[in-house]
A and B are shown apart, each in its own frame.
Chain A
């Protein structure tokens, strides 16, 4: 009896090991998300005739741009081994403060500055708590999420703050060579962020911290500073997103950063190859992931799949990618 049991355990064990070896040995798996994206796009083209109509595509990309920008910020935090759950609610709060300033007759420049600053301040608080007070990222940013959304509701009384400023709309949403600015901003930011993580001192330190914080410290990496900065960066990206989204929606409200958004951000990052264990991933990948997630949501809309079924499908996709991540981690 024991032998039978032993061997069945063995087989399962070695099958998993073999799967793992296969996944780690083949570079092909690094581009798996893009491959899946292509497959999904082909399927969509076959089933939804209107999907590839250029207006819808541009629309999808504009939608993806705000998600993509937040995913870049999240990626920086996740590479260092942390997580920032407060991005959407901080984004909403920044947008509200900026919009209120604009509503009260303030200048566009100052409004934008306010939005960025609020994001950076919230990020600094997160960063300080995690890096220097050694608090757990999950808890700190969850608390920040509650605080920011609470504050957002409090200052707005749950009423959205309208943004009616043609110049502002023009500035943020205008097209360059037929491409709306949000898309261009997202692409430029993704390229800059990728350059930063791949080729700068900070970037190299970032991966080192994510891989093994103690080893990084012993190698002279200022680990606390690096961790602090990751949250400042994700806060700044929340602020930048606030500018674009408030222009796109023509208003700012607490609801901009609802609970579903944080899930979408994490999914974008994970689908884009960012490891929840830290040390692996790139901003460009996360942006691909954001496009993928937006395409799924958008196509489910067009296929008139209910919102809740949509959630289930998204959840399954995410679990599949996280499972893949843990296989690769071994």
Chain B
């Protein structure tokens, strides 16, 4: 196969309190896609940040086409033909798609930004990616999936020879995903090297040729995917842990209603939403991306205003109507967008874990009890196996998956009677996903009511005792927990066709 096009040799990187990478070696050939695999916090993003010039390694060298190169900034990475599609998107929401895509290199004519050229080149990449929005659309009106496509478009623009994808599909619809894979296949035939990070192992068998597995900051294995199985890879990633994916669903029986929603409306967003959630139940809110699932959840806990409708909660003595702003006293919601609407990024892990539960941490003098705060945070950090160097570590320096665990842990710490989980396992590795599922069952067994929203059908199937199917802001169907994958897919898609 000749010499690798990209070689990283003996790369080490230390952060205060943690050795993130220990002499990692990584190679990739021209025209192939290499999967970079590893558990949360294994060092995948760190390794790619070194390649992308966002971080300087303490040791190690990088060779491209056999030549040693020094990549000390993102600009230097671009100059070396490297493009990076980041795990956490950073975009300017009030600027247009074209402006965001060109942000680091505006085309100019006589010193003035050449709008025409900018929009033309943007339109070209967007067509290539099969996007339906125009270059002059503002980022803020785009869905998360569309934003992800913009991020990918930005990477393609510089005509790179190496493209890094860090969990690109976590917020894409299946159609967008298919389009992305087509683009990746074309890129490969053009000789571009693809580095692909994901926690969805089925994806890598679909589009990658080889895999490299990281564990605890070291390379622990890899090889041709044609010679490996999912089990081999999971074994390399996390060792021998039983991944209990069998569902432990309850039987649906008559149980107390804890949340009753009647006729919830928000013009143009959700329409006539009515349903009941029972004690000890895991209810799946299913539908395609953009069908209004998240919007229903947000309306219930008062994050978005509603035009009319009633929300009743069983506060201990039967159902009582409550105002949406009060709902958060009984409902904990894991929000979908952890960076903008979940975490307090510069604040510590401990403070992020306790922020929802502060009332429960007050001492006699109405002061926050430091010792209890530390105890509880420690407990849930261990329970969720969150990898941190200390409880005082700023959350923004955690790996993506570990940040997600902090959001989940925050609500476990509050322990409300009702949970809403919007994409609770986004960015988690296979082991952690299984663990979160186990926790959800435990919560339900303990009497909590859980409303789960997930784009992953397997996750939905494993969790739901009952499903509400949504389309265009309405609940169009209800299915039992015994529904098959095809029935669920059919219900969501069929509902879409009915329109």
B-chain residues with CB within 8 Å of residue A219 when the two chains form the complex: 342, 344, 355-356, 410
Interface check A175, CB cutoff 8 A: no
Q: Are A212 and B368 in contact (CB under 8 A)?
A: no
B-chain residues with CB within 8 Å of residue A280 when the two chains form the complex: 346
A10 and B359 in contact (CB under 8 A), knowing A199-B368, A212-B344?
Answer: no
Interface check B345, CB cutoff 8 A: yes
A17 and B73 in contact (CB under 8 A), knowing A199-B367, A204-B368?
Answer: yes
Q: Are B79 and A201 in contact (CB under 8 A)?
A: no
Interface check A323, CB cutoff 8 A: no
A201 and B358 in contact (CB under 8 A), knowing A218-B333, A218-B335?
Answer: yes
A25 and B340 in contact (CB under 8 A), knowing A204-B358, A208-B347?
Answer: no
Q: Are A14 and B73 in contact (CB under 8 A)?
A: yes
Selected from B75, B344, B346, B362, the residue in CB contact (under 8 A) with A201 is: B362
Per-position 1/0 for B367-383, Cβ under 8 A of A:
11000000000000000
Interface check B22, CB cutoff 8 A: no
B-chain residues with CB within 8 Å of residue A221 when the two chains form the complex: 355
Per-position 1/0 for A241-285, Cβ under 8 A of B:
000000000000000000000000000000000000001100000
Interface check B76, CB cutoff 8 A: yes
Interface check B351, CB cutoff 8 A: yes
Q: Are A208 and B79 in contact (CB under 8 A)?
A: no
Q: Are A14 and B347 in contact (CB under 8 A)?
A: no
Per-position 1/0 for A185-207, Cβ under 8 A of B:
00000000001000111001101
Bound state CA distance, A287 and B244, in angstroms? 57
B-chain residues with CB within 8 Å of residue A216 when the two chains form the complex: 344, 355
Interface check A9, CB cutoff 8 A: yes
A-chain residues with CB within 8 Å of residue B410 when the two chains form the complex: 219
The minimal Cβ–Cβ distance linking B376 to chain A, given in whole angstroms, is: 14
Q: Are B344 and A200 in contact (CB under 8 A)?
A: no
B-chain residues with CB within 8 Å of residue A211 when the two chains form the complex: 344-347
A218 and B75 in contact (CB under 8 A), knowing A208-B344, A211-B344?
Answer: no
Selected from A13, A201, A212, the residue in CB contact (under 8 A) with B366 is: A201
Smallest Cβ-Cβ distance to B357: which chain A residue: A220
Q: Quick one: which of B332-349 are within 8 Å of A by CB?
A: 332-333, 335, 340-347
Q: Quick one: which of A135-157 are within 8 Å of B by CB?
A: none
Bound state CA distance, A221 and B325, in angstroms? 10
Interface check A6, CB cutoff 8 A: yes
Interface check B16, CB cutoff 8 A: yes
Bound state CA distance, A17 and B55, in angstroms? 10
Q: Are B368 and A201 in contact (CB under 8 A)?
A: yes
Interface check B72, CB cutoff 8 A: yes
Q: Are B341 and A214 in contact (CB under 8 A)?
A: yes
Q: Quick one: which of B411-470 are within 8 Å of A by CB?
A: 414
Smallest Cβ-Cβ distance to B343: which chain A residue: A215
B-chain residues with CB within 8 Å of residue A195 when the two chains form the complex: 367
The minimal Cβ–Cβ distance linking A150 to chain B, given in whole angstroms, is: 35
A200 and B73 in contact (CB under 8 A), knowing A208-B347, A212-B345, A215-B343?
Answer: no
Q: Are A218 and B367 in contact (CB under 8 A)?
A: no
A-chain residues with CB within 8 Å of residue B351 when the two chains form the complex: 204, 207
The minimal Cβ–Cβ distance linking A154 to chain B, given in whole angstroms, is: 40
A-chain residues with CB within 8 Å of residue B23 when the two chains form the complex: none
Smallest Cβ-Cβ distance to B361: which chain A residue: A201
Per-position 1/0 for A1-17, Cβ under 8 A of B:
00000100110011001
Bound state CA distance, A201 and B179, in angstroms? 48
A218 and B303 in contact (CB under 8 A), knowing A201-B362, A201-B368?
Answer: yes
The minimal Cβ–Cβ distance linking B205 to chain A, given in whole angstroms, is: 36
B-chain residues with CB within 8 Å of residue A218 when the two chains form the complex: 303, 333, 335, 341-342
Q: Are B344 and A220 in contact (CB under 8 A)?
A: no
Q: Are A220 and B328 in contact (CB under 8 A)?
A: yes
Q: Are B75 and A13 in contact (CB under 8 A)?
A: yes
A214 and B340 in contact (CB under 8 A), knowing A10-B76, A204-B355, A219-B410?
Answer: yes
Q: Quick one: which of B274-323 are within 8 Å of A by CB?
A: 303
A-chain residues with CB within 8 Å of residue B414 when the two chains form the complex: 220
Q: Are B340 and A200 in contact (CB under 8 A)?
A: no
A-chain residues with CB within 8 Å of residue B356 when the two chains form the complex: 219-220
Smallest Cβ-Cβ distance to B367: which chain A residue: A199
A215 and B368 in contact (CB under 8 A), knowing A10-B73, A10-B75, A14-B72?
Answer: no
Per-position 1/0 for B68-95, Cβ under 8 A of A:
0000110110010000000000000000
Bound state CA distance, A216 and B303, in angstroms? 11
A208 and B340 in contact (CB under 8 A), knowing A200-B368, A218-B333, A220-B328?
Answer: no
Bound state CA distance, A60 and B328, in angstroms? 49
Smallest Cβ-Cβ distance to A220: which chain B residue: B328
Selected from A6, A199, A208, A222, the residue in CB contact (under 8 A) with B355 is: A208
B-chain residues with CB within 8 Å of residue A199 when the two chains form the complex: 367-368
Bound state CA distance, A73 and B64, in angstroms? 57
Q: Are A13 and B73 in contact (CB under 8 A)?
A: yes
Bound state CA distance, A232 and B298, in angstroms? 30
Bound state CA distance, A208 and B341, in angstroms? 12
**Which chain B residues have a beta carbon within 8 Å of chain A's beta carbons?**
16, 72-73, 75-76, 79, 303, 325, 328-329, 332-333, 335, 340-347, 351, 354-356, 358-359, 362, 366-368, 410, 414
Excluding A6-B75, A215-B343, A222-B325, 19 further A-B contacts by CB distance (< 8 Å) are A9-B75, A10-B72, A10-B73, A10-B75, A13-B75, A195-B367, A199-B368, A200-B366, A200-B367, A201-B366, A204-B354, A204-B355, A205-B358, A208-B347, A211-B344, A212-B345, A214-B340, A218-B341, A220-B329
User: What would 21 A/B residue contacts be, using CB atoms closer than 8 Å?
Assistant: A6-B75, A9-B75, A10-B75, A14-B73, A195-B367, A200-B367, A201-B362, A207-B347, A208-B355, A211-B344, A212-B340, A215-B340, A217-B303, A218-B335, A219-B344, A219-B355, A219-B356, A219-B410, A220-B328, A220-B329, A220-B414
List of 6 A-B pairs having minimum Cβ-Cβ separation, nearest first: A220-B328, A199-B367, A211-B344, A219-B355, A218-B341, A219-B356
**Which chain A residues have a beta carbon within 8 Å of chain B's beta carbons?**
6, 9-10, 13-14, 17, 25, 195, 199-201, 204-205, 207-208, 211-212, 214-222, 279-280
